[in-house]
Every structure is written in C-alpha cells, then in structure tokens.
Structure 1
Amino acid sequence: MPGYLLGAAIGFVVGVAMGWSRLVGYWAQPVLRLIGPLPATAWLPIAFFAFSTSRQASTFLIALASFFPVAVLTWSGVASVSGSFYDVARTMGAKPWFLIRKVAVPAALPSVFVGLFMGLGASFSVLVVAEMMGVKAGLGFYTQWSQGWAAYPNVYAALLVMAAMCTGLVTLLFRVRDWKLAWQKGVVRW
C-alpha cells in the first residue's frame, strides 16, 4: 500500500505540473516516454540490486507501476480543461494557484481516477510478481511455495484471497470516486 500511495501521489503531482506548465511538460515528457512503457516487472533485477531490502525494492516497483498511469492521465485531464473555465476564474480575480486547485484539478478528476484504477491493477500485479521473485513473504510467495509442494488447493485459496483483496481495494477506490465526483455517481458501477 505505501508503494501505491507514493507512486500515485508523485504521479499526480507530475501530471498536474505537466498539464499546467508547458516547460515542465517539455522536459518531463521524454522521461515518461522512455520509462513509462516499460513494465515495472522489467525493473526487478535493477530494483533488487539497487535497494538493500526486498521490501524497499518491491515498494519502488509498486510505486513505479502506479506512477505512470496516474501521471499520464492526470496530465491529459489537466491539459484538456477548457480555456473558458480559466478565463471565467481570471475575470473574477483568480491567481494561478487558485486556478490549479479549484479549476484544473477538479475538472481533471475523472481522468485522475481512471489513472488511479489503472495504477491499482498494475501495482497489484507487480506486487504478486515481486513476492514470487524475491520477497520471502506474502501471497505471491505463498502461491509459488504451495505450487512447489503440489498443494494446489492452497494455490487456489491464495488466488481467492488475492481476488478478494483486489476487489476490496477497487470497491474502496470506487467509493472514494463516488464521494469526490458525486455528479458522476452511478455512471460506472462496481
């Protein structure tokens, strides 16, 4: 969970900065184009080499997996806000910080939540793979260990627990989305 929250927070800040400032977008876009399409699981060998513990490495990988979709969709959402919204706010004396907080971010929230959902799925996949590859705890490790002992009922039970956990987190995220975007409540049901 800390990896997902860290990646989502950094992705949100980077996405808002890229959508708001052409200069930030100019410099950050090549980095996103280079790093973003690579699956986070491809970073496994580097992460386990670069970090001193497997927990730090898996946190980094999960943050990386959630960072990219949140950053790109937040950037897209902020960049696509109609200029007339800003013009109306400026005629009423709004400063740039107000425009970001009260105009750009609320208008981009539907895109932000799509990025959060995509990041959650990607980070959950990376978590399970990281547990299978190098971490000596967790459901991914238990699944692989059970499979090695041919304890297939345990494998199925672990898969059911993973499905329940992921469904619970998606449901929680939908509840937050429905609370923050009350005007869209019920458009997409889970």
Structure 2
Amino acid sequence: MNGETTQAIGSVAEDRPHVRANAHISSRALLPWVAGPAWFVAALLTWRWPDADDFPDTDILAGVFAGIGVALLAAAAVRRLSARGPWMIALGLGLAAWEVAQAKLLLLPRPFFGTPQDLLDVFLTDWKRLGDSLLHSLGLLAVGYATGATLGIATGVGLGRSRRFRYWALPFVRLIGPLPPVALLPLAMVLFPSNWLASEALMTLGSGFPITVLTWSGVAAVDPAYYDVARTMGARDRFLVLRVALPAAMPQIFVGLFMGLGMSFVVLVVAEMLGVKSGLGFYMQWAQGWAAYPNMYAALLVMSLMCTGLVTILFKVRDRILGWQKDGLKW
C-alpha cells in the first residue's frame, strides 16, 4: 500500500510541471482577448463618467477607444496579437487611469497636465501645423545627417588607409570632434549667413564625429591579408576601398551611423528652439511660450515617433546589408 501511495505521489509530482505549463499556455492564449475589453473599459469610463470641466471631444475620444477595442478583438481573432497583448492591455488601462485622474477628478494641476481630450483636440485642430513642423524637421535632419554621414565615412576611410592624411587630419578630428555641437551654436550663428546653414553645419559636425571614429576603427581592423590577396589579383586602390575596406568595416560603420543619428536628434531640437524658426523644436518652444502644454505634449509625441521610426529604418537597412550579423546590434 505504501509503495502504491509513493508511486501515486511521484506521478502527481511529475505531472505538476505539465499542469503549470498548460496553465501558462492558457493564460498566454487568453491575454490577447483581454486587450479589447480593456479599451472598452476606457471608452465606457470616458463616455459615461461626467467630466470635471468642459473638455473638448469627449465623445470622439470614447469612440476612438471603442474603435481600438474592436480592432484589437479582430486582431486576437486572427491570432496577430499574442506578443503585443500585454502591452495593449497596459496601454488601455493606463489611458483609462489618466482619463479618470485628470478629466474626471482633476487630480493634477492645470494647465501643466492636460487630459486625453486635450491631446486629441490638438491633433484634430492643429494637425496641419504639426505636419508642417514635422516636414521641416525631417528636411533639416536629412540634409545635416546625410552630409555628416558622407563626410564621416570618407574621413574615416582616409584615416584608416592613408598615413599622410591621418597625420594632417587627426589633430583636427581630436580637437573639434569631441566638442558638443551645442557649445558652438553662438559661433556658428556668426560664421554662417543664415540660421539654417548654421544648424546644418552643427548637425554635420555632431553626426560626423562618431561615424568618422568608428569607420576609421573598422577600416584599420581589416586584415592586411585581404588587401594582399586583392592586389595579387590586380586590384587598385579604389577597388581596395570600395570592395575590401568598406564591406569589412560595415558593422562598425553602422554603429557610428546609429550614434550619429542620436546626436543629430539633439542638435536638431536645440537648433530649432534657438535658431531655426520652424520644425517640431520651434513648435514646442512656441507652445510653451503660450502655455499651450497639450500642444507641447503632442509635439513631443510626434517627435518621439519620428526618432523611433528613423532608428528603426536604419536598423532595417543594417539587417538587410549585414544579414549575416543581425544579432550584433539590438534595437
């Protein structure tokens, strides 16, 4: 009898991991179906609980929440929400908590802290100015970053391949490169004929320095045997740079491009706030001056999406070019 009891207990103990695993799988399968109802809760609270003040677009906001809930239920039905389910639940409940705390109870001081209705109203009424500011920021960023990347890669290749070029250029790189570009803003405003050109020059400097250093490191680390093999096959200097040095240095170059892009974002905002009278940075400065804090938060959200999107595109390009090293740098 004792043996049978011991065997039964042992079999139950062996089954417990499977029971726990099945319960874990069931909870993961259930989570996507909770995301939609979480947004329905946010919609119901927004619609039925009276506002503490006369806030705009409450009914529209409730409709937006409900629409997102329907979309999430549809995504759960086609099994496209398994990985993002917990995040969508947290986002829906977080927005519901924000709505209750500020729009219904006014727990946070106004106008510094707005409501979800205020943010939605900015996108509904001022979308044209926000879109124009976004286009100006993208244009300013594209020119400065592209110029910095081109000059940075060219300078890095020169430092890695030419001893004479390294002798003359390296002191300038070490002297000027580590300087914060923002510190040179007053000087740039004097040296360049327009604020736009000054901002582009500072963005070129800020993005070009990390790209230069990391391109130089990547080119200098190339095994000399690769060059020797290429020379024995009749390769000239141009081939050695374009077909040997640059492909071998690509992992380092993309690290520099990532760091340079982050520096470009910093210079972009400072330049638009202090010099260039357009763009998202200027929009934020204008909103703060008029105490239009919902507009400022809307610009911050748009800027965050812009920066995240650009970094994501850069990593997509990197993964496409360096398919053999997708796990080398995470984003």
Q: TM-score range by the shorter chain?
A: over 0.9
1:186 is displaced (CA, Å) by 4.2
The two structures have a TM-score, normalised by structure 1, of 0.95
1:19-62 deviation digits (Å, cap 9, x = unpaired) = 00111111111000000110111111111112222111111111
Corresponding residue number in structure 2 for 1:93? 234
Letter in 1 for 2:302: V
The two structures have a TM-score, normalised by structure 2, of 0.56
Structure 1 gaps of 5+ residues are: none
Distance, in Å, in 2 between the alignment partners of 1:84 and 1:72 is 23
Letter in 2 for 1:97: R
* Correspondence 1:178 to 2:326: no
* Correspondence 1:62 to 2:190: no
Corresponding residue number in structure 2 for 1:111? 252
Q: Figure out how many residues of one structure are paired with residues of the other and give that number.
A: 190
Distance, in Å, in 2 between the alignment partners of 1:96 and 1:49 is 40
1:82-126 deviation digits (Å, cap 9, x = unpaired) = 112112222323222211111111000111111111111101110
After superposing the two structures, state which structure 1 stretch, 173-182 or 104-113, moved more. Answer: 173-182
* Correspondence 1:28 to 2:169: yes
Distance, in Å, in 2 between the alignment partners of 1:188 and 1:116 is 12
Letter in 2 for 1:136: K
1:125-166 deviation digits (Å, cap 9, x = unpaired) = 101001111121111111112112222222111111111001
Letter in 1 for 2:185: L
Letter in 1 for 2:310: L
* Correspondence 1:78 to 2:78: no
Instruction: Classify the secondary structure of the residue corresponding to 2:247.
Output: helix
1:10 is displaced (CA, Å) by 0.8
Higher gyration radius (CA) = 2
Distance, in Å, in 2 between the alignment partners of 1:136 and 1:83 is 50
* Correspondence 1:11 to 2:152: yes
Structure 2 gaps of 5+ residues are: 1-141
1:73 is displaced (CA, Å) by 0.8
Distance, in Å, in 1 between the alignment partners of 2:230 and 2:205 is 35
Corresponding residue number in structure 1 for 2:192? 51
Distance, in Å, in 2 between the alignment partners of 1:54 and 1:161 is 24
